[in-house]
Structures are given as structure tokens and as C-alpha cells.
Amino acid sequence: MCTDEATFKLDGLIDEEVGPFHLFEVDVCYSKSVSIAQALQTTRQSLQMIGSVVISAQMPEKEQPIIVQLHGRSIDKKDMIWDETGVFFRVFRLEEGKDEDELVLLYESEAIKNHSHPQWAEFQLGTQDAADNRNRLLEVWVMYRDVDGSEGFIGKFLTTYAKMKYGPGPDNVYAIINEKKQHEKKNYENSGRMELVKFTDVSFFSFLDYIVSGTQLHYEVAINFASESSPNICDQQRFDADVQMAIRAIGGILKDYTPNRLFAAFGLGAKTPPTFQEAHEFHLNFNIDPICRGLDGVVDAYRKAQAVVTPMRTAKFAPIVSYATKLSHRSGFRGLHYHVLAIFTRGIPTDMKELSTAVAGAADAPLSIVILGVGSADFSPLIKLASKRKEGARTCLQFIALDDILESGDSGSENRSRIAQKALQAIPEQMTDFMHSSNIAAKPPIQVCRSPLFHCSSLIPDRPTQFVFDGYLSPLLTPQLPRSDRRGSDSQYLDVEIGARHHPVIRVPERCHSVLQTTREQYQRRLKERGLAKVCSFHFISRRSARSYQGMPSASHGTSD
């Protein structure tokens, strides 16, 4: 994630020290161009601009892996008996040198024992390593390994990325050649064959690809009010300070990925008014909507809730995790929203089994969970839960002990930076894992063209359209109420009879300017539907452009579908 701040100190510009220049990397990531220009000002009271600085950034090309799988056919045996000898292969990139070619090892396969037709597992090669040049030669050595670890050479063959790209088939069946045996034996053909059975170019989208394509990160906060014993004033003040620091540290980064700067806040482990029943999932602001405006709104809601709730001695985390999972599923179009739930606690929950089930359900949702332990309690059950890895399931939970991060001698900004780095370092990988497992591709940003001459909002005025007539108005031009089947504004429009031949001058509001751009074919169609045989000509003068519109048909200028 783009979280760092780049600081530049420019000396010697116009023979004086300018001072520090700050720029966040997130500005570079979101920039539409490869360069960002900002003005430089002196530190004096005059704030006189003395120059500018241009920061250029270039994103390196992503590493797109190649998935390859090879099978062996009739590979030579060692002394006619394999015993426990294993067969494996190595893939080298051939680098041209001045005197002799150099081999760069790219991959070594697993060894398959006692088999002349080995079927190795698929493996990955980096595009930049194997195909920086499409005709880059790749040399594959087929070897054997004895039980004592000694290795022997069976043979080799050459291929290229361009050739393998044709996929499985006769063109990608290679003869394994042992040059020594080839010179010694006249009737030597090969030492076996290698067959390409799978070749795939894989496009893995990165975290930044999804962010640029429109994915938003939503920050949710949950605070556990429960405490096994009544804390003294000093302990409570320290807990409050650490929680507020962590809320701002994590939110200070995620807010740049949330355009509306709205954050949901929840509470648990307390008895809430007015009935003071046990609650393990309640809105921190005690409103119907848990959304708070900005990080200050979250902190204010926590302070106000702390004054009215009664802390319990135990808490349950499963309800709030399940609620956040449902919230993430209902957040909108899949792939455009991802949620980060931060749970602050000073103790462990009593529903560890239910929490484990809820976390397993959250693995299938666009959600990451960060549990932050505040204080010196024993958090070993939560650490154990966060370290559990279920085969085939996505990892979405991590635990962080704030006491292991905070340093009393460091400044608040340094502590906040460490909290944010520790809490958010796994979020990009967890989000991309969810996107890949859900087969969600990062699409390019939607480019919206807003023409200055026409916009759909002009067809639906926000107030009744008012017309001002200058000059004589023919009695044949009579205002009528809009038809019931007409879409658009409820304003009046002019119904022009065929006999009207006067040319009144009409000033049209700006919002109707684009309505007048309706094509002649649309007017003719409407006239035909209303039974009008001829078209009348009028001169419409827009208040904005003062332009004459000639040859307009005798239909109401307010009718727009």
C-alpha cells in the first residue's frame, strides 16, 4: 500500500535554502500522469513562489508467471536397474557471453523415484526471466539422484518461450540427448523424450491494479468495552489513548482509499441503554446507521458511548465478525468494495469456537479482520487462532499486540507509523487472494465523457422551466398542461398549431439549451404522431449563447424523452 511520505530538501535554488518539500506516495499512485508538479514557496511570511518541482515516477512491469508442466517418456535407466534413484530436471536460461555461454538456473523439479515415465508437477517461470527475449534459449537438463545424494547426467534439450507457447503437441516433444553417448555409440538416438503437457500465461492482478480500477477500502472499527476487573483511572486512560492512537493510525492510511471518508463503528461487551441488556454488537453512535463522519466522528462516538454504557466482564467476538461479513456481502458490486474490520480488545473472548467458525465464513467474503490487543493480558488463544491455516481457505485474520509495537521513548507519529505498517502489511495480499479466488479481474477505469453541449441532467430540470417572451405572442400559441404519458419536467410547454406563422422571440433557460439539440428526425417523428402535416419554423434565441435556431419544427421545445 502507498503509505510512505517522501521528503525532499532542495538547496541552492535561486541561491537560498527552500526547505522541505512533502509528497505522499499515494498521490503518485493515484496520479493520472507519470509526473506531479507542485509549486515551491519560501518559508518567509511573504510566501512568494520561487519555483516548482516535478516528481516523476515509473511503475515497473508486473511479473506475469508462466505455468509449465513436463512429462518424461522412456527415460534411460541407470545400469538397467533404477532401485531408489530419482529422476529430476533443471531449467536454465542461456546467457550469451564473450567466450562461452552462461547458464542461469531458473527452476529445479522434484525427484521422482524408480520410474521411466515420470510425471512432474507443474511449475512457474517468471516472464522476465524466461522470456525477456521471446527467442531466449532455455536449456533443460534431465538428471538422476541416488540415495546417497550423488547426481548424474542423463541428457538435455533446448527450447524457447515462443516454441512452448504453441502448447502441447508434436512440436513440443523433445528428444533428450546425451552428447557423450552420441559420440560413443553409432546407433544412438536419444536417452528418452520430454513432452510438454501444459503451458499457460497467467495474468495475476496486483493490489494496485484493483485500486486503480475502482476498488474502495472500507474501514470498520469495533471496540470491546469488557474488562475482567474494574480498571483504575490510569489503566483506563492508557487504554483509551492506545485505542484512539490505533484508530487514527490505521484510518489515516485507509481514508485515502475511501472517497467518502465515512467509517462504521461498533461496540461490544457492554450493557447499553435504555434497558441495559448485554450487547455484543451495537452501533457505537447509538443511531440506526453505524456510520460516523471521519475519524474524529469515530473517536467522538467512542467517548460518548463510554460515558453511557456499563462494561461487562466477558465479551463475544463472533456476532460482530458475522455482522461485518454480512455487511461486506451487501456492500455492492463484487470487486469494487473491500472491508477491513479492526477489533480493539483488552482481553480474550469467551466464544473462541464460535469465533473460529465466523472467521472461516469471513474467508469467503471481501473482508480482512485485524484484532489489536491492548494491554498486557494473555492473548495466546487469539494468537493461536490467527496462526491457524485451513487448507484451501484464504487467510483473513491477523492478531497484533500493541505493547509489542509501541515504544515509550518514541514520538506519537513514529508509534502510529509502526501500528499502521504492522496492521496493514497483510491487507494487499489478503485482498488479492480474495479477488483471485473469486475470479474477479481488475478492469480499467471507466472513462466518462461529459459533453459541454449535452448532458442527461438537462432533460430533467430541477425546477419548473420558465419562459420569457419578448414581443407579440400569437393567440394560436396556447400553453397546455403536460400530458400524463410525458416524461421529464412538469413544466408547461407550447402546443403550436399548424396555422401559426408568426415568429416570436423566445429566451430559453440554460438548462433547456441541450434539449434544443434534439435531432430533426425526432421532431419529425413527434409531429407525425400528433398528426401535423407541416413543419413551422421558429427562431429560438438562447439566453446563454444568443444564437438563432432556424428551421426548427413546430413541436413543443420542452418535450424530451
3 state DSSP class of 180: helix
Question: CATH 3.40.50.410 in the chain, residues?
Answer: 208-437
Give the dihedral of Cα atoms 184, 185, 186, 188; nearest 10 deg. Answer: -130
State the pLDDT confidence band at 26, using cuts at 50, 70 and 90. Answer: low
Share of the chain above pLDDT 90, in %: 39
Burial class (CB in 10 A: 0-12, 13-18, 19+), 357: middle
Kindly indicate the confidence band of residue 46, based on its pLDDT and cuts at 50, 70 and 90: low
Q: Kindly indicate the confidence band of residue 150, based on its pLDDT and cuts at 50, 70 and 90.
A: confident
pLDDT at 548 over 60: no
| pLDDT value, residue 21 | 52
Give the mean model confidence (pLDDT) for residues 305-333. Answer: 92
- At residue 2, the pLDDT reads 52
Of 121-135, 313-327, 370-384, 445-459, minimum mean pLDDT range: 445-459
CATH class entry, domain 65-201: mainly beta
pLDDT tens string 408-464 = 777 888 899 999 999 999 999 999 999 988 888 887 654 444 333 333 333 334 334
Q: pLDDT, tens digit, for every residue of 388-398?
A: 877 667 899 99
CA distance 435 to 416: 29
Pairing of strands 102-108, 35-41: unpaired
Burial class (CB in 10 A: 0-12, 13-18, 19+), 115: middle
CB 224 within 8 Å of CB 342: no
Percentages (nearest 5) of helix, strand, coil residues in the chain: 25, 30, 45
pLDDT per position as a tens digit, 473-529: 445 444 444 444 444 443 333 444 444 444 444 444 444 444 444 455 666 676 676
8 A C-beta contact, residue 118 and residue 167: no
* In 109-184, beta strands by DSSP E: 112-113, 123-126, 137-145, 151-160, 173-175
Average pLDDT, the chain: 76
Statement: residue 315 has pLDDT above 50 = yes
162 confidence band (pLDDT: 50, 70, 90): confident
Which residues is 262 bridged to in the sheet? 293
Question: What span, in angstroms and rounded, lies between the C-alpha atoms of 246 and 224?
Answer: 14
Contact at 8 Å (CB) between 303 and 338?
A: no
Residue 449 pLDDT: 42
Domain 208-437 is found in CATH 3.40.50.410? yes
Res 47: pLDDT: 55
Residue 534 has pLDDT above 50, yes or no: no
Handedness of CA 527, 530, 534, 535 (dihedral sign): negative
The three-class DSSP label of residue 181 is: helix
Question: For the segment 329-361, what is each residue's pLDDT rounded down to a tens digit?
Answer: 988 888 899 999 999 999 999 999 999 999 999
3-state secondary structure of 356: helix
* CATH 2.60.40.150 domain residues, the chain: 65-201
Question: What average pLDDT does the segment 25-32 reach?
Answer: 53
User: Cα(499)–Cα(440) distance, rounded to whole angstroms?
Assistant: 62
Indicate the residue type of 317: F
Residue 449 exposed, middle or buried by CB count within 10 Å (0-12, 13-18, 19+): exposed
- 155: pLDDT strictly greater than 90: yes
For the residues 30-59, what does the mean pLDDT come to?
A: 56
Rounded Cα–Cα distance for residues 299 and 392 (Å): 38
Cα 510 to Cα 189: distance, rounded to the nearest angstrom: 86
Q: Give the pLDDT confidence of 64-74 residue by residue, as tens digits.
A: 788 899 999 98
- CA dihedral of residues 317, 319, 321, 323 (deg, nearest 10): -160
Query: What span, in angstroms and rounded, lies between the C-alpha atoms of 477 and 509?
Result: 19
What's residue 522's pLDDT?
Answer: 66
The residue among 265, 279, 188, 189 whose CA lies nearest residue 226 is 279
Cell of 506: 423566445
Predicted confidence at residue 425, as pLDDT, reads 92
pLDDT of residue 530: 65
Measured between alpha carbons, how far is 297 from 244 in angstroms, rounded to an integer? 12
Return the C-alpha torsion angle 56, 59, 60, 63, nearest 10.
Answer: 180
Lowest mean pLDDT among 4-18, 230-244, 268-282: 4-18
